[in-house]
Each structure stands twice: as C-alpha cells, then as structure tokens.
Amino acid sequence: MLKRTAALSPQPKPGYCNKKRCRLPYFRDNRAQAGNRAHFPDIFTVMDETQQAIAETILADGRVIAVVGASPNPARPSYIVASYLIENGFEVVPVRPKVSEILGRTCYGSLEEIPFQVDVVDVFRRSEACPEIARAAVAAGAGSLWLQEGIISEEAAGIAREGGLRVVMDLCIKKVHAEINENH
C-alpha cells in the first residue's frame, strides 16, 4: 500500500464529499467507491421502504418548496440545495428573517408571511427550532415537512403528522432527488 506524502493529494475529510467544489456531507459508510456513485451513495439502501415511498411522493407532488433557513451565502448547504432545486424545476421560496432576496427570489421572514400555498417546507435549522416550524407549516397548510440531513426532531415530526403532513427527517432533499432521477 502506498504511503501518502505531502506531494500526493491530501485525504478527504471523513464524512464529506470528495468531489471537487462540493462541500456537502455524505453517508459515512459510503458503500460506492467509483465515479458519481461515490458522490451520491445509494441512499435508499439506508432508508426503509416506507420512508423511500414518502420521499418519492413528496418530490413528485411538491412543486413549491419553502426553504426555511435559506442562506444568501453561496458556500452554505442551504444555498446549494435551493439552487439545485431551482435548476430542477421547483419553485423555491426562501425563508430567512432580515434578508430581502436570495437567488433572485423574494425572501420571507417566516412561513406565516408567505402569501401563497407551499407544498413542502424544507428545514435547515437546528432541531430545537423545528417544533415551532412544524406548527407554522401545519398552520400554513403545507403538505410535507422535510428536515434536512443531520436534523432530527421527533417532536416536530409528531406535530406535523398530527396536522396531516408527510414527514422526512435526516435526509438531504437534493441527494434524494438526485438518487430518484438516477434510478428512473
């Protein structure tokens, strides 16, 4: 086995994508090691069939996605995901207080301020903030609550399910959409 030296490229940080200019985390078990599959491992191998069906239904039915915690900083995951969704035909509604515009779209301070119906509420906020966001999503009449990778809140999931919303937790909507498109 070759020993890495300073002349060779450094090893990627564990848990982060090795693909050039991508800063999104990936699943640490990373079953696939070649080509694009190393960038987006087969996430459905770690999802159960029910969660897979819910995710596919949300992405098939939802066209208007409110991104709560959207950032105007192009280096942030929320910005990267929102721009990916826009490129793939979704109507993205950024939600972030004190910011007027992100990705050329009007930014709202909260879900309550959005003057039209949203289908999916995609959350890039800490778990502690999620129950209140779930209540706002139910009140806004959203169809689904999607908590991004690394965000788990059973309380928020319970609130959303009780309000009739479909729920996905701890998955990246961008990665799931890319995986669905690759498999179809």
Judgement on whether residues 128 and 153 belong to the same structural domain of the protein: yes
Q: Determine, yes or no, domain membership for 4.
A: no
Residue numbers of the domain that contains 20: 11-41
Judgement on whether residues 132 and 110 belong to the same structural domain of the protein: yes
Judgement on whether residues 75 and 159 belong to the same structural domain of the protein: yes
Quote the pTM value.
0.75
* 47-74 b/e (C-beta count within 10 Å ≥ 16 → b): beeebbebbbebbeebebbbbbbbbeee
Q: Determine, yes or no, domain membership for 5.
A: no
Judgement on whether residues 78 and 28 belong to the same structural domain of the protein: no
Q: Determine, yes or no, domain membership for 6.
A: no
Q: Determine, yes or no, domain membership for 118.
A: yes
Judgement on whether residues 64 and 79 belong to the same structural domain of the protein: yes
Q: Determine, yes or no, domain membership for 3.
A: no
Judgement on whether residues 56 and 118 belong to the same structural domain of the protein: yes
Judgement on whether residues 66 and 146 belong to the same structural domain of the protein: yes
Residue stretches of the chain with pLDDT short of 70: 1-48, 184
Judgement on whether residues 26 and 98 belong to the same structural domain of the protein: no
Structure confidence at residue 85 (pLDDT): 97
Judgement on whether residues 20 and 84 belong to the same structural domain of the protein: no
Judgement on whether residues 23 and 64 belong to the same structural domain of the protein: no
Judgement on whether residues 104 and 175 belong to the same structural domain of the protein: yes
Structure confidence at residue 29 (pLDDT): 38
Give the pLDDT confidence of 65-95 residue by residue, as tens digits: 999 999 999 999 999 999 999 999 999 999 9
Judgement on whether residues 34 and 89 belong to the same structural domain of the protein: no
Total domains in the fold of the chain: 2
Structure confidence at residue 18 (pLDDT): 42
Q: Determine, yes or no, domain membership for 66.
A: yes
